[in-house]
Amino acid sequence: MDESQLATPVSAPKRKRLSLVWLMPVLAVVVAVAVVAKNYAEKGPLISVSFQAASGIEKGQTVVRFRDLQVGIVEDMSFAPGLTAIEAHIRLDKKIADYVDESAEFWLVEPRVSARGVSGLNTVLSGVYIQGNWDATPGEKVQHFVARKTPPLVTHGDNGSVVVLRSRGDTQLSNGAPVMFNGIEVGRLGEPKLSDTGSTVTVEAFIEAPHDQRLTTNTRFWDISGISLNVGAGGLSVDVESLAALVEGGISFGTMVAGGDAVLPGHVFDIYDTEEHARENVFDGDSAENLRLSVLLDNHQGGLTVGGNVRFQGAKVGEVTDLNGYVDPETRKVKLLVEFAVSPSKLGLGDDSALHMDGLKSRVANGLRARLASEGLLGQTVVLELVDFDDVAPAELVTNVTDLPLVPSGESNLKDASQTVDGLIGRINSLPIEELMNSAIGTLDGITAFVASPEAREIPANANGLLVDTREVIASGATRKAIQDLQTAASDVQALVGRIESSTGLDTFLGALERSDSIMTNIDAFSGKLPAIADDMEQITAQLAALQLQELVSDASAAVAALSDVVTDPSLKTVGPDAAASMASLQQILADLEQSGLVAELSAAATNADGLLLDLRSATADVPTLVNDASAVVASIKDLPIETVVQSLDRLLNRGEAVLSAPGIEDIPVALRNTLVELETSLTALREGGVVDSLNATLKSAQSTMEAIETATVQVPDVVARLNRVAGALEQTIAGYGPESRLNRDAQNAINEVARAAEAFRSLARTIERNPNSLITGR
């Protein structure tokens, strides 16, 4: 070779050596292999999850999270065979791969805006992610999963209980709606599911620990969704439990009665419409233990509804749960298949659920039948009734025809009810309601007319007038003047007597007594006649006593009002002059006597007069009796039952009040007015009437008596001496009528009584005046 001839550098022998540079590719390979090996070693398993749609899942981007920690990533997306789903191929972390077993579930977390807030907001920018959920025990690996459409109700790690709620279907529930307890959210609802028949909706509810400890068999759930509007006496109240409950629907629960048993997970509760309804049904027992039965009815006339009551011997034992048509395969007749649930304990089937069916079978064999019946006053509600018939064709509980055990049906009880209703309505129709109403209207009209009548309004005025009149009478100057006049009259009489006393007649009389002894004999002879005179005098005094003073005083007291007229009567004034005249004549008589020498006789007679005087005194002893009598009369006047009268008047008024509320009341005002008018007229009559006249007459007769006395003194001068004595006695008598006299006091008392009575009447009148309707309503 040419190369061997060429000069080579000294280092030429190194030619066969391997260059150190070869280490570089070796190193690179080693590093690469190491990296690849490490990657491979760390690589978790590949699983696939089926989704309905990709909806934002990107390969290489979308991650899988468990408790918000990334545990995998979507490596690839593909279609499932037949394009039925999207398969997301997910590379899991090796650390977590062992736990992804059968319990694992996956769902897509997307931004979600609901009434309860915004969730998954972080996914708005970062994109969706797949949430994984599995339990904490490793299990056999599963390659393929189907994603959930919604997040599961309970994720592993949530502490609490899951129960099943059953609703009749009219409650608006949605997934994730809150479960409240006393206004606090303690749980949430899962996805509502329709039952196979479509009549009920079941929904799982998750109650967080520790609130799930509150759940017992006595717990009741009720619907709180929507707005509760309540109009009552307290006003309008609008209740919204929570905004979330308003939109999504919500459930609240409460344990109404203590002492229930703890519930197992999956316990079925019913959802009631309202809390009240839930409370009403708290003793209904556990619906989960209810026997579910059915009955075929062929004469259904409508009215039975789902939720209707099932009754046994009048008590509610269950509810109708479903109504369906059923075609009898033999007769091709359409019947109504009623499914219902009853509480076995209320049917008397005992507590042991294993024996319920056997017990029911024997009950059916003994004549238990289901039939339609009506309830309510008018039979408007149709219920299913379980009845024990005594004589009925034998039948048994059929279990193989329908889904639920079939209870044989009995004769419907609806007809009787409708007949009863007819009868009741007929009876109501025949009630004389219109007449009743008319008379009621008439009565009310009458009352209204009475109350509004002018007569009724005039009553107080009339009463007032009457009282004013009475007051006028009593307080009039005439009455006062009458008393004054009486006093004047008395003083006149006194003066008269004084004149008689101070007249010279007495001295002359004494002188005459000294002088005329001779006369005494005559007088002695005359005195023989004196007893007769004394008797006459006695008779006079007796007559005086017998004089109808009582009547007079009663008349006077009755005619107090007319007294003024009496006193002012001119005839009374004539009495004075008459008396004066009679005195003058008396004086003249005495002068005559002096002249006549009769005085001597008189003097003589006077000596003998002691016995006569004794007689006279004994005669005049009757005068105090007379005065006593008069005072008795006055006392009797005093005792006159004026108070009683007033009380009776009061009673009368009370009775009048009572009468006012009695029928025939319209006539009363007129009658009362008439009465008042009559009362007025009678008072007027009292003022002007015969009583005064009679008093006048009496006084006139007294005057005539005086005149008679005058004539007597003219005709019988002898009497004068005795008349003198009589006058003294008379003075005494009249002194009895003096200001300090008892009679006067009594009379004043009587007048005071009258005044008090009038005062009482006036106060009554004032009361009526102030409060006229007290006449009607009472004080």
Partner 1 sequence: MDRAGQQQSLTTAREAGMVGCTYCGLLLPMDQAHCPRCGAGLQSRDDQSLQKVWAWLLAGLIAYVPANLYPMLRTTQMFHTTESTIVGGVSDLIHHHAYGIAFIVFFASVVIPIGKFIVIAYLAYLMSRPHKSDPHRLHLLYEVVEFIGRWSMIDVFVVAILTALVQFDVLATINPGIAAVCFALSVVFTMLSAQSFDSRLIWDRLEKGSFHG
Which chain residues interact with partner 1 by CB under 8 A? 2, 6-12, 14-15, 17-19, 21-25, 27-29, 32, 35, 60-61, 125-127
- Structure tokens given for 680: 């007025």
| For partner 1, the closer CB: 35 or 546 | 35
| For partner 1, the closer CB: 28 or 142 | 28
- What residue has token string 């009582």? 550
Contacts of 204 (CB under 8 A, 6+ apart): 153, 162, 163, 164, 165, 189, 190, 191
Under 8 Å between Cβ of 342 and 407? no
- Structure tokens given for 273: 């419409």
Question: Nearest approach, Cβ of 101 to partner 1 (angstroms)?
Answer: 31
Measured distance CA(575)–CA(702) in Å, rounded: 9
Measured distance CA(545)–CA(362) in Å, rounded: 115
| For partner 1, the closer CB: 111 or 367 | 111
Q: Considering only CA atoms, which of 615, 622, 624, 618 is closest in space to residue 542?
A: 622
Measured distance CA(597)–CA(592) in Å, rounded: 9
Question: Nearest approach, Cβ of 19 to partner 1 (angstroms)?
Answer: 4
| For partner 1, the closer CB: 10 or 431 | 10
Question: Nearest approach, Cβ of 9 to partner 1 (angstroms)?
Answer: 5
Question: Nearest approach, Cβ of 151 to partner 1 (angstroms)?
Answer: 22
Q: Considering only CA atoms, which of 271, 273, 180 is closest in space to residue 228?
A: 273
Q: Indicate the SS3 state at residue 206.
A: strand
Question: Nearest approach, Cβ of 28 to partner 1 (angstroms)?
Answer: 4
| For partner 1, the closer CB: 15 or 770 | 15
DSSP 211: G
Question: Nearest approach, Cβ of 2 to partner 1 (angstroms)?
Answer: 6
DSSP 148: B
Measured distance CA(749)–CA(640) in Å, rounded: 12
Strands (E), 376-443: 381-388, 406-407
Question: Nearest approach, Cβ of 130 to partner 1 (angstroms)?
Answer: 17
- Structure tokens given for 673: 């007015």
Question: Nearest approach, Cβ of 131 to partner 1 (angstroms)?
Answer: 18
| For partner 1, the closer CB: 12 or 671 | 12
Question: Nearest approach, Cβ of 27 to partner 1 (angstroms)?
Answer: 8
Q: Indicate the SS3 state at residue 62.
A: coil
Under 8 Å between Cβ of 251 and 271? yes
| For partner 1, the closer CB: 19 or 331 | 19
Measured distance CA(356)–CA(349) in Å, rounded: 6
Q: Considering only CA atoms, which of 50, 53, 55 is closest in space to residue 81?
A: 50
End-to-end CA distance of the chain: 162
Question: Nearest approach, Cβ of 158 to partner 1 (angstroms)?
Answer: 28
| For partner 1, the closer CB: 1 or 377 | 1
- What residue has token string 């004013």? 468
| For partner 1, the closer CB: 125 or 532 | 125
| For partner 1, the closer CB: 32 or 334 | 32
CB hemisphere CA count around 381 (13 angstroms): 13
